Amino acid sequence: MTGPVCKLDHCVLHVSDIAAANRFYSEVFGAQLIEREGGRWAYRFGGEQINVHEGTGGGAGPFARVPIVPGNGDLCFGWSGPIEDAIEHLRRHDTEVELGPIERFGARGHGISIYFRDPDGSLLEFISYSV
């Protein structure tokens, strides 16, 4: 028996400073910044999106059972080229690699990853499936 085919549409990230987060995600990730009603923002990457909440609230609800605080994110993004290019890209944006390159298993199988943090300390990962 097979179920419905699902694809991630969006997730939510909590930040402490919208301006700093907007700058980081647009410059480091190339996110399209989407200004929403009520001073809220979203970051779009093609067909995927991160909705951004400042502090522990935001939006119309419902919310996580345990309030999410800025810095609690843990997200992985695919990098389209060799992981060495991702390392150089982060260096150009004064972003320190915390771990890696290291082999990891992602949505497309085995890849090479590096880990780094956003301005709030959320753990971010670039994974490359390029050999």
* Given the residues 37, 88, 98, 125, the one annotated as active site: 125
Helix locations, 1-131, DSSP H: 18-29, 83-92
Which residues make beta-bridge pairs with 76?
125
Instruction: Output the CA torsion sign for 7, 48, 52, 101.
Output: positive
- 27 is an active site residue: no
Please, are residues 126 and 82 in contact by the beta-carbon 8 Å criterion? no
Helix locations, 71-113, DSSP H: 83-92
Cβ neighbour number for residue 39 with a 10 Å cutoff? 9
- Residues designated as active site: 125
